[in-house]
Each structure stands twice: as structure tokens, then as C-alpha cells.
Amino acid sequence: MKIVFMGSPDFAVPSLRNLVESKHHISAVVTQPDRPRGRGKKLIPTPVKQFAVSMGLPVLQPQKLHEIKDRLIEIKPEVIVVVAFGKILDEEIIAIPSHGCINVHASLLPKYRGAAPIHRAVMNGESVTGVTTMFMDTGLDTGDILLKDAVNIGAGDTAGDVHDCLAEKGARLLVKTLDLLEAGEIVRVPQNDEEASYAPPLTGSDEIINWNQPAKDIKNLVRGLNPWPGARTFWDGKVLKIWRVESAGAGNGTSSPGTVVDVNINEGIKVQVGDGYIIITELQLQGGKRMDAPQFLRGHSLNPGTILGNNAGKEGMK
């Protein structure tokens, strides 16, 4: 089938790679414009563009999709494939391909429609998630479901672990979907809106640890924000990102939630939470490097009795 591929971040690269290796033909790759990054504000291409260029594929980078509408009509794609593109397709673009637009979404639709399905699934403590291919319409991830593939989320899995797994599974599911579509064997299943849930974009407030919460919820938050953007608290007027924690038993204790109750150079930093304790095993102080707790404690005096704050204004977030 003649395909136009639309995608931008790392999640989309396996899907593009599998299409290159399949029997289908990629007529063009559409991705976000190069963006300035780093201290030098050097223009950096998206991971999808980098891969497409390495494969010799034609790349289009419009600021707005209507800038390339005529070019898409000229290509006459049978399918537009969309994988984490980062722009909304309107009705005119969706109507261009003869066989429609197919999206790879990182959840088991209709659960977790929206921008952050992987983060939200891990943050919410889900034990199962997956990937779905669907026909696109003008709604937010509301189109007819084509194929699904479920995966288990382990108790220690981070959003990064789940992301990498779903990127590969989605790539395989995409090719299978296109093969069935070409053969006329694909089955469309309308979504049940009553079973739908929403995965909104992450905000700054989502990242702040509330030490009054149970240890399980705090651990899920930390896992769900690893490796990006990171769960955070505040210490000594600086942001302290928490990358990994372990539950350390129940108990009300005598300290307020957020209080460091023990520091062990070999194990980590024990903190009182809403229903017991957690041990911080990996963290990063503002301006410093990410490191495990023993490394951190060799260079910083974080003593028992210290209170880690969850109020940005009070603790001097920068």
C-alpha cells in the first residue's frame, strides 16, 4: 500500500522502521519542524526525521498541516499512518487517503484516550495496558478499533520500560493491521464511550510528590514519571527529583509525612509517608546529576529530621 507516515518522537521510530522493512511503500514522512535544544539552542531534528533521512525517505516538516495539503493530494496515499505525531488532523486531511487514516495509540482503547496514556497508566498503578490500532476520526482517539495487543506492567516497571515495550508492539501491530486492510479482512469495532477514560497531558502539579499519600501511590507516581519528567519534592530551597523508591513497611510513626526518619549509606533515605515509609534509592538535586542514594549521601548532608516539602512556593522552587 502507498503510505504517508506522520510521527515525531522515539515512540514512532519502530513503527516507521517496520514499515520500511515491510512490503508497503512509504511515499513521504511528515514530522514536526526542527526545534532549538540545549544551551546553544541548536536546531535538532525529531527522531523520526533522523531515521527517515538515514533511510533516504522524503521528509516534510510543515508548521501547519494545511501547508502540505496539496502535496498530500498529489501523492494520493492509500493510507496515512499516524504515530505520536503531535498535531491534530482535521477532517480535510483525514479525507485524503483512499483507505483512511490509521493511528497507533499506546493504550487499550477506549481506556486512556489522550496525550499521556503511558504515564497515566503507570501513575494509576495499572497492571495491564497495551496498544491499539484504529481508524481516525475528528474526535480525540474515538475512532473505530482495528487491533489490540495487551502487555503486563510489572510492579517495578517505569513509564520508560512500558514506552519501549509498547513502541515495539505497536510497530508489529501496525504492519499486521495494514496487511489485513490491504487483504480486505480488517474488522472495525466501534468504541464504547461509556468505558472511556482520559489521559490528559502532564502538568507541573502532577510532578510534585504529596508525602501524605500512601506509599503505593507515591511509588506509582515516581515510576510513572521516570524517565521524564521526574517526580519532585523540595529540599533546602532546591528541586529534588526522586527517580526510584521502595516501600518500607506500614506504620503511622511519630513524624509528619515528608520527614526523613533514617539515612543508611547502603540502603537509602527512609521517609515517612501517609501510611508508613518509603526508601528513596535514586534521586537528583537541582543542578546535579542523577545518582543512586549511596552516591548522593556521600556528597550531601541529608540528615534524619529533615522535612522534604511539597509546597513549591514555601520551598523555593527554581
Residue entry with cell 495487551: 150
Q: Are 265 and 294 in contact (CB under 8 A)?
A: yes
Q: How far is CA 148 from CA 107, 109, 129, 144, in A?
A: 9, 8, 10, 12
Alpha helices in 22-158 (DSSP H): 47-54, 69-75, 91-94, 117-123
pLDDT at 317 over 50: no
Q: Taking a C-beta distance cutoff of 8 angstroms, is the pair 238, 314 a contact? A: no
Band of the pLDDT at 316, cuts 50, 70, 90?
Answer: very low
CB 174 within 8 A of CB 18: yes
Please give the Cα distance from 259 to 235 (Å, whole number): 11
Residue 145 to residue 160: CA distance in whole angstroms: 25
How much is the average pLDDT of 195-217?
97
Domain 205-315 fold is: Methionyl-tRNA Fmet Formyltransferase; Chain A, domain 2 (3.10.25)
User: For the chain, where do the domains classified as CATH 3.10.25.10 start and end?
Assistant: 205-315
Beta strands in 128-203 (DSSP E): 128-135, 145-152
One-letter amino acid for residue 186 of the chain: I
Question: Beta strand 101-105 with 79-83: parallel, antiparallel or unpaired?
Answer: parallel
For 235-241, what is the mean pLDDT?
A: 95
Q: Say how far apart CA 132 and CA 197 lie, in whole Å.
A: 15
> What confidence tier does 188 reach under pLDDT thresholds 50, 70, 90?
very high
Which residues have C-beta within 8 Å of that of residue 141, sequence separation ≥ 6? 103, 105, 109, 110, 113, 114, 134
The mean per-residue pLDDT over the stretch 27-42 comes to 92
Q: Cell digits for 148? A: 489490540
Domain(s) labelled CATH 3.40.50.170 in the chain stretch across 2-195
Could you tell me the pLDDT band of residue 189, with boundaries at 50, 70 and 90?
very high
pLDDT-derived band at 86 (thresholds 50, 70, 90) equals: confident
Cell of 124: 494509576
Separation CA 111–CA 128 (nearest Å) = 11
pLDDT band at 12 (very low <50, low <70, confident <90, very high): very high
Strands (E), the chain: 2-7, 25-30, 35-37, 42-44, 59-60, 79-83, 101-105, 128-135, 145-152, 231-235, 238-250, 260-264, 268-273, 276-285, 291-292
Confidence of residue 310 (pLDDT cuts 50, 70, 90): low
Superfamily name and number for 2-195: Formyl transferase, N-terminal domain (3.40.50.170)
Q: Residues 103-153: pLDDT tens digits? A: 999 999 999 999 999 999 999 999 999 999 999 999 999 999 999 999 999
Q: Can you tell me the mean pLDDT for 172-180?
A: 98
The residue-averaged pLDDT of 35-55 equals 93
Average pLDDT over residues 179-203: 97
Residue of 296, 300, 215 lying closest to 250 (CA atoms): 215
